[in-house]
Copies of this chain bind each other. A is one copy, B any other.
Amino acid sequence: MSCDAEIAEILRRSGHRLTPQRLSIVRALRHGGRHMSAAEIAEEVHREHPFVDLSTVYRTLDVLKRMRLVTSTDMGSGDVLFEWAPEAPHHHLICSSCGNVAEIGHAYFEELERRLLADFGFEADVHHFAVFGVCRECRMSEPGDANEA
């Protein structure tokens, strides 16, 4: 697989060492094609390499994040979720009521990005946003209430 060769190349060029653990972690993320917690990644990695420690997973993810190969997002699940950095950035609408997660493209954030740069010189790192709210279905089913228990 040229996947592996590509990663090997990138790691080496950045002065990092290529280890089977790192390759396996990268593979888990790339082939997983979804958000994964460190624990989930470890679980996947363990199929090939049962002795890889969680701390190694965290340390590797840290390296990959710094290299911008991986994004991390707190989606409110209590742990942080990681994802192989997609070519096309995308974002998520998370329903606070039913927990459903929808994916939306980056276009929705471009205007914001532009204005933040123009007005403040702030280069927003809007690679992977989690927007909480209430989805259409939940809005329909719930009355226009106010206070809860």
Q: Is A149 an interface residue (CB 8 A)?
A: yes
Interface string of A114-149 (1 = CB under 8 A from B): 011000111111100001111110010000000111
* Nearest B residue to A137, CB-CB: B121
Interface size class of A (residues with CB under 8 A): 20 to 34
Q: Is A50 an interface residue (CB 8 A)?
A: no
Q: Is A14 an interface residue (CB 8 A)?
A: yes
Stretch of A26-34, A35-43, A81-89, A102-110 that contacts chain B: A102-110
A-B residue pairs in contact (CB < 8 Å), sample of 20 = A67-B147, A93-B120, A95-B122, A96-B125, A102-B120, A102-B122, A104-B120, A108-B112, A108-B115, A111-B111, A112-B112, A121-B135, A121-B136, A122-B131, A122-B133, A123-B133, A124-B132, A124-B133, A126-B131, A126-B133
